Amino acid sequence: MAVILLTDKVAEPYLLWNQFKAGLCDNVKHKLYHMNYYQADQEIPEDDIYDYGLWDLNRILVEMGRSLADFSPIPLPQQQWAHRIPNPLL
C-alpha cells in the first residue's frame, strides 16, 4: 500500500485503507504474539491490530521520505509500537 500511496494517484487514501486494512493486517496477530505483547490465550483487540498496521505502514512511508500525515484523513497510529519490537541484535 505504501507504494500505491507514493504514486500520488490515490484520490481517497482513507477509503483505500478501509477497504484493504483487513488484508494488510492479516499477519499482525502473529507478530504481536511473537513480540510477547499478548499471551497466546489472549484475544487481541481489533483496534490494536489495525493500529499496528498503521504504525507499520507509517514506518515504511518514513523510510521513503513521507508519512501517514501526508495522506490525511488516514488515521495515525495511537500506540508507540517501536519500543515494543524486540531488537534482533540482542
The mean pLDDT value of the chain amounts to 88
Residue 89 lies in a domain: no
Those residues with Cβ within 8 angstroms of residue 55's Cβ, 6 or more apart along the chain or in another chain: 77, 79, 81, 82
d(CA 66, CA 68): 7
Question: Tens digit of pLDDT for each residue in 18-50?
Answer: 999 999 999 999 888 888 778 888 899 999 999
The number of folded domains in the chain is 1
Instruction: List % helix, strand, coil for the chain (3-state, nearest 5).
Output: 55, 0, 45
- Domain of residue 43 covers 2-84
> pTM of the entire structure?
0.85
Residue 37 lies in a domain: yes
